[in-house]
């Protein structure tokens, strides 16, 4: 038989130092050194964009453009009147389009087959034909209806009634109503049916349920595409220049015809469109932020809040984490 060797004092010492019962300090692991992740693709894409901008700058530097004419005509009286007409036709067309679109959406969702079929035919007709074609049809309506006869309510020559402003308003507003009807319909159908059932259980009529329960909740879905439609309407209004409506594009073309500065006036019109769309985009952001209060936990930061947060944090390496 072999005898097992029991550990002696020498073996105990070879195991290394032992912690005493009173030594409770934890062993801290070695700190992990974070290495920033490198993104060479970002540098390459950034350099390509800078090179493209340099090439565009060189091209515009050699362009035969009278740059001094742009600030000279930017606030010209005729241009400012055209900007005012652009805003007027945009706002009026959107107001009529939204109101008529809500009505069409309700008709399409109605259980009445007559109103539902009418709404579907309207949407099919106005969404299926180009806006420019509709503007031309309204403007030339006097060719087939010389007299506008509405019975005892109104009777006049069509040329007196169908002015460029009226043709532009009807063409833009009625076309927009078809798109708004689909936007409103999608928003209404996004609300749970239990909301309607609960409202009916409380004795609310269908119309009151739509006004007080369904539409307020559907606004969260309706507002973003409606804002996009407004900005799109602002730019689509330039098509009214074809029927001689004096919006900013038409006025710019009229000035360029006499002053022979076509590109300069197009740049002036482009600057005004960019300015107006930027202003309305900011307004749209705050409206969407307002209606998002009940659906998100944290509201999206405003542009000013983003700037302040970036300045307060300062630059940090990617892949690192703040420590207290």
Cα–Cα nearest to 36, from 316, 318, 315, 322: 318
Per-residue pLDDT tens over the stretch 202-245: 889 888 888 888 888 888 889 999 999 999 999 999 999 999 99
Residue pair 139/243 in contact by the 8 Å Cβ criterion = yes
Cα–Cα nearest to 90, from 6, 168, 182: 168
Q: For the chain, give the mean pLDDT.
A: 86
Per-residue pLDDT tens over the stretch 66-98: 888 899 999 999 999 999 999 999 999 999 999
pTM of the model: 0.77
Using the 8-state DSSP alphabet, how is residue 119 labeled? H
Residue 48 CA to residue 43 CA, distance in Å, equals: 9
Buried b (16+ CB within 10 A) or exposed e, 139-163: bebeeeeeebeeeeeeeeebeebbe
Which residue segments constitute the domains of the chain, with CATH numbers given? 69-293 (1.10.3720.10)
Residue pair 105/184 in contact by the 8 Å Cβ criterion = yes
Residue 21 CA to residue 199 CA, distance in Å, equals: 71
């Amino acid at each position: 038989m072999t005898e097992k060797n029991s550990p002696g004092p020498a073996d105990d010492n070879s195991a290394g130092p032992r912690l005493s019962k009173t030594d409770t300090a934890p062993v801290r692991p070695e700190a992990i050194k974070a290495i920033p992740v490198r993104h060479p693709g970002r540098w390459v894409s950034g350099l390509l964009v800078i090179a493209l901008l340099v090439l565009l700058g060189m091209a515009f530097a050699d362009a035969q453009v009278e740059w001094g004419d742009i600030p000279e005509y930017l606030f010209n009286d005729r241009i400012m009147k055209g900007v005012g007409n652009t805003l007027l036709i945009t706002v009026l067309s959107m107001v009529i389009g939204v109101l008529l679109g809500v009505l069409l959406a309700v008709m399409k969702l109605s259980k009445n087959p007559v109103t539902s079929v009418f709404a579907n035919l309207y949407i099919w007709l106005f969404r299926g034909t180009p806006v420019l074609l509709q503007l031309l049809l309204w403007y030339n309506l006097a060719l087939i209806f010389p007299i506008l006869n509405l019975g005892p309510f109104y009777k006049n020559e069509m040329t007196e009634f169908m002015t460029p402003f009226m043709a532009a308003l009807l063409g833009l507003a009625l076309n927009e109503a078809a798109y708004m009807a689909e936007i409103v319909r999608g928003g209404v159908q996004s609300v749970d049916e239990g909301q309607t059932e609960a409202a009916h259980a409380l004795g609310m009529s269908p119309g009151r349920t739509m006004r007080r329960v369904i539409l307020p909740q559907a606004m969260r879905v309706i507002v973003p595409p409606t804002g996009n439609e407004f900005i799109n309407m602002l730019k689509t209004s330039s098509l009214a220049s074809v029927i001689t409506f004096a919006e900013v594009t038409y006025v710019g073309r009229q000035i360029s015809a006499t002053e022979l500065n076509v590109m300069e006036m197009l740049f002036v019109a482009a600057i005004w469109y960019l300015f107006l769309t930027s202003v309305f985009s900011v307004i749209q952001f705050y409206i969407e932020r307002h209606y998002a209060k009940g659906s998100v936990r944290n509201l999206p930061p405003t542009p000013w809040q983003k700037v302040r947060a970036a300045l307060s944090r300062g630059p940090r390496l990617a892949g690192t984490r703040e420590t207290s």
